[in-house]
A and B are shown apart, each in its own frame.
Chain A
Amino acid sequence: MTVQAMGAAAAAAPSREEMLLASRAVGGGERELRLSVPSIHCGGCLQAIERSLGRLEGVTAVRANLTTKSVTVRWREGASPPPIAARLDAIGHAAHLAGSDGARPDAAFAELVRMLAVAGFASANIMAFSVSVWAGAGGEYRHLFHLLSAAIALPVLLYSGRAFYRSAWAALRHGRTNMDVPITIGVGLAFAMSFYDLFADGPHAYFDAAVMLLFFLLIGRTLDHMMRAKARTMIADLAKLAPRGATVLHPDGTAGYLPLEAIAPGMTVLVAAGERVPADGRVLSGQAELDRSLITGESAPVAIGPGAMVEAGTLNLGEPLRIAATATADGSFLAEMVRLIAAAEAGRAGYRRIADRAAGLYAPVVHSAALLAFIGWLAATGDWHLAATVAVAVLIITCPCALGLAVPIVQVIAARRLVERGIMLRDGAGLERLAEADLVVFDKTGTLTTGRPELIDAERADPAALALAAALAVHSRHPQAQALAAAQAARGDPRPAVDELREIAGCGIEARAAGSTLRLGRADWAAPDAAELAADAPRTVLARDGRPIAVFTFREMLRPGAGPALSMLTAQGLGVEIVSGDHDRAVRSVADALGVQRFAADVRPAGKLARLAELAAQGHRPLMVGDGLNDAPALARAHVSMAPASAVDVGRNAADFVFLRDDLRAVPFAIAVAQRARVLVRENFALAVLYNAIALPFAIAGLVTPLAAALAMSGSSLIVVANAMRLHGRMPRARTRPAPPERQPAPAAMVAAAGPGR
């Protein structure tokens, strides 16, 4: 299922009432609303949207945002908001209410940027004095310049250093150590030592080094935060694609639209054709077929009637249903999945990020080196002050400037490359874990396949029979009927006229044309006498007066790029297996089509979890790719996980990566970027270690002056950043060629032709 189809089927444009509820008053008698518009992709879109909305009655300001793909609109408070969403829809941009409030600035990020700015401007000013000292200013001047530097450095260290002190304190309090501990100790000691020297009239002062250190480290910290904030916003915006309410029939006969949380057991809920079931319940009336692919992974619709139990999230393909809700959010299938997810996530909590692992090794080495230098110099010279100066120089020169930048700069660039391909990354740890993946476990329905059937050999079917079948099929929401109609529409033949159309749930469509009865549907219903048609392949029969005219066979439509994606994964040396909740036959045919040897069918959510635990026990690090509710626990349990944008909310929230485009080649591409990023991170660590290996002996020998420290620190940081930039360059194996021609209609054509489903 494509994002567009999902948007069209599940969430109509927000109504005026919804927009009014989501908007906020901004003073001056105006209200403001932020809408997420995923289709914005160029300057032209910005212009079209701003012009078009700007002409609406009552709108005072419009601002489209290309970075966050959203539109902020203000209007004069009146009886009703302008038809913003409808107008956007009319110009071809589907809008939905933004899940996150982008208008409210991210407070933590704003604080980081302020700290960064203060540190940046302060280090520039201190450097002006330091350069004078290095250039030879002596005596009185030197003392004055050091004094001024101290005056700038003290407030800056207190203000901009908070992020590090807080984090270091939190780590120490829990008996751990992280990168911020050596930073805090280094900065603190450097300032204290220099401050003492200021009055003891020592020759050196490290105020510039301390402030510059904070500046470089804050750059890394800010980039890291920026990357995660952006991904969070976009993933939160996606959440609003799903419906947020349902039509409830009250006992007095009136109907009202209630939010999902307000639906209580015993309420009667109306589920129209093409809507998702809002809560678990029992069918009171109506015959229909339900698409359960997003919930259980079954690709074939299931026929249900009065008395049947239905799960929240299944899609009604047939007649309107009346359902008595049996469970609220707590007692539903969804809640069971959420419990499994919580348990599964605990199994992954032990993962330590590479920077923390490096800090665990690094901090003890640096601190013992500084201590040994202090003791050594004290023993050799008996001079406390000299020994302390050397120890501080050791701490400063080894302070993890380059280490602090080594990871975030690479991950920011990697995240950017992924975003260009429509892949959202939740946080940097996911990237590190993805690079370690050695096996990919795919869900089938909705992940390897689109969850929709396609007609086999459409080009060889008899055009007249196909046109006749399509004439019936366009009136049904059944996936096979839609596939038939789409295949016929792609050929462009005219459809004959039929009348007296009616759909019989679980059987097919009946109509009359030219004095005979036409039936399109199950073989034993359309042509009861033709016993030879009862076969195992999913098929639909067109019959005239009980005699079969044509038989249409279907298979599941593969997701675009599925074939190339799997061969790329194999080429990357990763194993592939399919674990699906669907029936054996459906899984086997997809596995055969894609050349996958290992697959498992009829797997319950707990079974998927067990399979991943088993793989982990064998020493594998599986990447789970899935979209359904039944995959969500497995997504949370897997070493690393990806979900398509069409996945259920819970699945997207459990996944480390979300890919927004249909093409499955996002998976090998993300792995290639992650592996490349890992190489660069390791190179960066190697560079940082090399730098320390060279600089440390000089520092211990007492040869490091503040000038040397400043040069070494900025030099090593620049090298690390330059190395990370190489991720922008050529990517071996990841550069994909244009899709090879595949035997399936373009997804766009499918969506366009799927008339009744929209």
Chain B
Amino acid sequence: MSILVWLVPVSFALGAVGLAAFLWSLRSGQYQDLDGAAERVLFDDEDEPGR
């Protein structure tokens, strides 16, 4: 039983981290151009398109 005192909060924390990461990626516009993202991976040059 005592191990649960650790494991349960850890599992909650991991879930919360995942949720926070997703909401952050959503807010920073990473899903705004999914078709474009598929093409951009093929670009050779290093210069970053600004955002």
Residues of A at the B interface (CB closer than 8 Å) are: 42-43, 46-47, 50, 54, 60-68, 74, 110, 113-114, 117-118, 121-122, 124-125, 128, 140-141, 144, 148
User: Which residues of A are found within 8 Å of B45, using beta-carbon distances?
Assistant: 47
CA distance A54 to B1 in the complex (A): 61
> Are B19 and A148 closer than 8 Å at their CB atoms?
no
User: Which residues of A are found within 8 Å of B34, using beta-carbon distances?
Assistant: 67
Expressed in whole angstroms, the minimum distance between the Cβ of A58 and any Cβ of chain B is 13
B:1-51 near A, CB below 8 Å: 1, 4, 8, 11-12, 15-16, 18-19, 22-23, 26, 32-36, 39-40, 42-43, 45, 49-51
20 residue pairs from A and B, CB less than 8 Å apart: A42-B39, A43-B42, A46-B40, A47-B43, A54-B50, A61-B49, A61-B51, A63-B49, A63-B50, A67-B33, A113-B26, A114-B23, A117-B22, A117-B23, A121-B16, A121-B22, A122-B15, A125-B15, A140-B1, A141-B4
User: Which residues of B are found within 8 Å of A43, using beta-carbon distances?
Assistant: 36, 39-40, 42-43
Given contacts A43-B39, A117-B23, A121-B15, 16 further A-B contacts (CB under 8 A): A46-B40, A47-B43, A61-B50, A61-B51, A62-B50, A65-B32, A67-B34, A110-B26, A114-B26, A117-B19, A121-B16, A125-B11, A125-B12, A128-B11, A140-B1, A144-B4
User: Which residues of B are found within 8 Å of A113, using beta-carbon distances?
Assistant: 26
Knowing A67-B34, A148-B8 are in contact, say whether A124-B15 is a contact too (CB < 8 A): yes
B49 and chain A: residue at smallest CB distance: A50
| B15, B26, B36, B50: the one within 8 Å of A46 (CB) | B36
CA distance A109 to B4 in the complex (A): 38
> Are B4 and A62 closer than 8 Å at their CB atoms?
no
| A68, A110, A114, A121: the one within 8 Å of B18 (CB) | A121
> Are A121 and B19 closer than 8 Å at their CB atoms?
yes
> Are B26 and A64 closer than 8 Å at their CB atoms?
no
User: Which residues of A are found within 8 Å of B19, using beta-carbon distances?
Assistant: 117-118, 121
CA distance A196 to B32 in the complex (A): 44
Expressed in whole angstroms, the minimum distance between the Cβ of B47 and any Cβ of chain A is 8
CA distance A62 to B51 in the complex (A): 7
Closest 5 CB pairs of A and B: A43-B39, A61-B50, A66-B36, A121-B19, A66-B35
> Are A66 and B39 closer than 8 Å at their CB atoms?
yes
> Are B4 and A67 closer than 8 Å at their CB atoms?
no
User: Which residues of A are found within 8 Å of B50, using beta-carbon distances?
Assistant: 54, 60-63, 74
| A66, A110, A117, A125: the one within 8 Å of B33 (CB) | A66
User: Which residues of B are found within 8 Å of A50, using beta-carbon distances?
Assistant: 49
CA distance A54 to B48 in the complex (A): 11
User: Which residues of B are found within 8 Å of A125, using beta-carbon distances?
Assistant: 11-12, 15
CA distance A166 to B15 in the complex (A): 28
| B4, B8, B51: the one within 8 Å of A63 (CB) | B51
Expressed in whole angstroms, the minimum distance between the Cβ of A719 and any Cβ of chain B is 26
> Are A117 and B15 closer than 8 Å at their CB atoms?
no
User: Which residues of B are found within 8 Å of A118, using beta-carbon distances?
Assistant: 19
Expressed in whole angstroms, the minimum distance between the Cβ of B5 and any Cβ of chain A is 11
CA distance A205 to B17 in the complex (A): 26
User: Which residues of B are found within 8 Å of A67, using beta-carbon distances?
Assistant: 32-36
Expressed in whole angstroms, the minimum distance between the Cβ of B44 and any Cβ of chain A is 9
A110 and chain B: residue at smallest CB distance: B26
CA distance A110 to B31 in the complex (A): 11
User: Which residues of B are found within 8 Å of A74, using beta-carbon distances?
Assistant: 50
CA distance A8 to B8 in the complex (A): 64
User: Which residues of A are found within 8 Å of B12, using beta-carbon distances?
Assistant: 125
CA distance A113 to B30 in the complex (A): 13
B31 and chain A: residue at smallest CB distance: A113
B1 and chain A: residue at smallest CB distance: A140
User: Which residues of B are found within 8 Å of A144, using beta-carbon distances?
Assistant: 4
CA distance A350 to B22 in the complex (A): 41
User: Which residues of A are found within 8 Å of B18, using beta-carbon distances?
Assistant: 121
B51 and chain A: residue at smallest CB distance: A63
Expressed in whole angstroms, the minimum distance between the Cβ of B11 and any Cβ of chain A is 6
User: Which residues of A are found within 8 Å of B16, using beta-carbon distances?
Assistant: 121
A148 and chain B: residue at smallest CB distance: B8
CA distance A321 to B45 in the complex (A): 53
> Are A64 and B36 closer than 8 Å at their CB atoms?
yes
User: Which residues of B are found within 8 Å of A128, using beta-carbon distances?
Assistant: 11
B37 and chain A: residue at smallest CB distance: A66
User: Which residues of B are found within 8 Å of A47, using beta-carbon distances?
Assistant: 43, 45
Expressed in whole angstroms, the minimum distance between the Cβ of A724 and any Cβ of chain B is 19
CA distance A67 to B26 in the complex (A): 16
Expressed in whole angstroms, the minimum distance between the Cβ of B24 and any Cβ of chain A is 11
> Are A46 and B39 closer than 8 Å at their CB atoms?
yes
User: Which residues of B are found within 8 Å of A124, using beta-carbon distances?
Assistant: 15
User: Which residues of A are found within 8 Å of B35, using beta-carbon distances?
Assistant: 66-67
A73 and chain B: residue at smallest CB distance: B50
Expressed in whole angstroms, the minimum distance between the Cβ of B45 and any Cβ of chain A is 8
CA distance A67 to B15 in the complex (A): 31
User: Which residues of B are found within 8 Å of A63, using beta-carbon distances?
Assistant: 49-51
Expressed in whole angstroms, the minimum distance between the Cβ of A93 and any Cβ of chain B is 15
User: Which residues of A are found within 8 Å of B15, using beta-carbon distances?
Assistant: 121-122, 124-125
Expressed in whole angstroms, the minimum distance between the Cβ of B49 and any Cβ of chain A is 5
User: Which residues of B are found within 8 Å of A110, using beta-carbon distances?
Assistant: 26
CA distance A124 to B18 in the complex (A): 11
CA distance A64 to B18 in the complex (A): 29
Expressed in whole angstroms, the minimum distance between the Cβ of B40 and any Cβ of chain A is 7
Expressed in whole angstroms, the minimum distance between the Cβ of A225 and any Cβ of chain B is 14
CA distance A62 to B18 in the complex (A): 30
CA distance A228 to B33 in the complex (A): 16
CA distance A50 to B39 in the complex (A): 14
> Are A65 and B11 closer than 8 Å at their CB atoms?
no
CA distance A128 to B15 in the complex (A): 11
Expressed in whole angstroms, the minimum distance between the Cβ of A413 and any Cβ of chain B is 16
Expressed in whole angstroms, the minimum distance between the Cβ of B12 and any Cβ of chain A is 7
Expressed in whole angstroms, the minimum distance between the Cβ of A124 and any Cβ of chain B is 7
B18 and chain A: residue at smallest CB distance: A121
Expressed in whole angstroms, the minimum distance between the Cβ of A211 and any Cβ of chain B is 12
User: Which residues of A are found within 8 Å of B11, using beta-carbon distances?
Assistant: 125, 128
Expressed in whole angstroms, the minimum distance between the Cβ of B43 and any Cβ of chain A is 6
Knowing A47-B43, A50-B49, A117-B19 are in contact, say whether A65-B36 is a contact too (CB < 8 A): yes
B36 and chain A: residue at smallest CB distance: A66
User: Which residues of B are found within 8 Å of A62, using beta-carbon distances?
Assistant: 49-50
CA distance A65 to B33 in the complex (A): 6
B50 and chain A: residue at smallest CB distance: A61
User: Which residues of B are found within 8 Å of A68, using beta-carbon distances?
Assistant: 32-33
User: Which residues of A are found within 8 Å of B8, using beta-carbon distances?
Assistant: 148
CA distance A141 to B8 in the complex (A): 12
User: Which residues of A are found within 8 Å of B32, using beta-carbon distances?
Assistant: 65, 67-68
A53 and chain B: residue at smallest CB distance: B49
CA distance A464 to B16 in the complex (A): 80
User: Which residues of B are found within 8 Å of A42, using beta-carbon distances?
Assistant: 39
CA distance A94 to B49 in the complex (A): 21
Expressed in whole angstroms, the minimum distance between the Cβ of B25 and any Cβ of chain A is 10
Expressed in whole angstroms, the minimum distance between the Cβ of A29 and any Cβ of chain B is 15
CA distance A54 to B51 in the complex (A): 12
